[in-house]
């Protein structure tokens, strides 16, 4: 029987220990550790995410129960107090940098989006996570409520998070969007909460295409309609001008055949078919599903520390977990949902099994009737 490392060790093979330690040296605050290290912190929080632990005590008790199974990971003994202190004091930017490293490797393995253009497609949105203001005083949102806002840009190639920032719940989405450094020739898709005509001008100037919905109160000047046969569902396709936007834009009116709902999309992509513009906006639903998935399957709605650094540490490590699971799915071509993959990992985290073979269905054994065997032997 072939020897296998634990499933956990095989999963984190995407991140060599020497590479992590080099990053940890750069992103370190205060005195040098005596008997602990950032690698142990990372693994403790990673295991907590993968196994669905609910508190720091729950994480450390689980680590104690694993005993010698942690030795091969190079992990130090972790107490609740030590883990809480390191989460609060050591810079979370280490895990932001780690996320960027993992993202670049995931993007190489991710399947391409389904649209006709070659550039990237990013789906933008934000989600609010409510917090108790008395416990998280730095997350002031309203007079008696606290909240943080996770701003996200999802890469349509494999539906992996490409951009993320955490701000106070008061920060508007467009303020974050303006800071994004999007590649030339890429597409961005967002809802009407990102409406900002000055930003539309900047995107067009930088050769970045956008697709969004037109606000009902927009000041529109209708220009020439586009010639040609319309695709099913497309009811209008024409050039327009919006007051405050320099270049002419394109209006695509579309009726969903299943729901009968009418939509009006505005874009600066004049070279695509009208139906594809509508399909691009439909793709925006994927970021809603992404938010739903991470809230249901990873620990980002309740936090294990109260400082902003501890919260950021937990969020970045959760996103690293998502990338590790996504990379496994891309490379092994498992054909399973992300939730199914995560459940299998949770049940076998410390088992010594081949990581890829574990997801393959067991070989079917054809049972032969004893009567048939008897006749064959005659």
Domain limits, the chain: 7-95+305-359
Over the stretch 312-339, which tens digit does the pLDDT of each residue have? 999 999 999 999 999 999 988 887 888 9
Question: Nearest 10 degrees: CA dihedral of 178, 180, 185, 190?
Answer: -60
Whether residue 373 is predicted with pLDDT greater than 70 in this model: the reply is no
Confidence of residue 378 (pLDDT cuts 50, 70, 90): very low
Residue 251 token pair: 């209006």
Read off the pTM.
Answer: 0.90
Provide the percentage of residues in the chain whose pLDDT is more than 90: 75
Report whether 346 contacts 51 (CB < 8 A): yes
Question: pLDDT tens, 291-314?
Answer: 999 999 999 988 999 999 999 999
Q: How many Å apart are CA 264 and CA 237, to the nearest integer?
A: 10
What is the mean pLDDT of the segment spanning 39-44?
96
Confirm if 315 and 300 have CB atoms less than 8 A apart.
Answer: yes
DSSP 8-state class, residue 6: -
H-run or E-run covering 49: helix 38-51
163-209 pLDDT per residue, tens: 999 999 999 999 999 999 999 999 999 999 999 999 999 999 999 99
- Beta carbons of 160 and 154 less than 8 angstroms apart: yes
Instruction: Give me the sheet containing 220-225, strands edge to edge.
Output: 160-168, 146-155, 121-131, 187-189, 209-213, 262-267, 249-255, 234-242, 220-225
Query: What pLDDT sits at residue 1?
Result: 47
């Amino acid at each position: 029987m072939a020897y296998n490392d634990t499933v956990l060790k095989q999963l984190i093979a995407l991140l060599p220990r020497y590479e992590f330690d080099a990053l940890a040296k750069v992103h370190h605050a205060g005195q040098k550790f005596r008997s602990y290290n950032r690698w142990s912190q990372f693994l403790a929080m990673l295991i907590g995410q993968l196994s669905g632990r609910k508190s720091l005590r729950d994480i450390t008790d689980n680590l104690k129960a694993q005993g010698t199974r942690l030795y091969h990971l190079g992990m130090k003994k972790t107490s609740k107090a030590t883990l809480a202190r390191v989460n609060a004091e050591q810079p979370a930017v280490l895990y932001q940098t780690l996320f960027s490293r993992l993202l670049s490797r995931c993007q190489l393995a991710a399947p391409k989006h389904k649209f006709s253009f070659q550039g990237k497609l990013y789906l933008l949105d934000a989600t609010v996570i409510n917090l108790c203001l008395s416990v998280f005083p730095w997350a002031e949102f309203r007079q008696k409520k606290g909240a943080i806002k996770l701003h996200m840009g999802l890469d349509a190639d494999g539906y992996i998070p490409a951009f993320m920032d955490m701000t106070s719940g008061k920060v508007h989405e467009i303020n974050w969007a303006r800071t994004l450094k999007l590649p030339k020739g890429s597409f961005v898709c967002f809802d009407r909460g990102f409406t900002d005509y000055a930003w539309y001008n900047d995107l067009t100037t930088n050769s970045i295409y956008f697709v969004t919905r037109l606000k009902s109160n927009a000041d529109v000047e209708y220009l020439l309609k586009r010639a040609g046969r319309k695709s099913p569902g497309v009811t209008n396709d024409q050039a327009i001008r919006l007051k405050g936007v320099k270049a002419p834009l394109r209006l695509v009116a579309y009726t969903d055949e299943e729901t009968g709902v009418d939509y009006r999309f505005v874009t600066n992509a004049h070279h695509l078919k009208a139906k594809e513009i509508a399909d691009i906006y439909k793709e925006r639903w994927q970021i809603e599903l992404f938010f739903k998935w991470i809230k249901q399957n990873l620990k980002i709605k309740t936090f294990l520390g109260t400082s902003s650094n501890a919260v950021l540490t937990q969020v970045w490590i959760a996103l690293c977990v998502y990338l590790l699971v996504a990379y496994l799915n891309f490379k092994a071509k498992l054909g399973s949902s992300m939730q199914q993959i995560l459940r299998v990992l949770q049940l076998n985290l410390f088992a010594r099994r081949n990581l890829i073979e574990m997801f393959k269905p067991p070989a079917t054994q054809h049972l032969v009737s004893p009567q048939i065997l008897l006749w064959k032997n005659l």
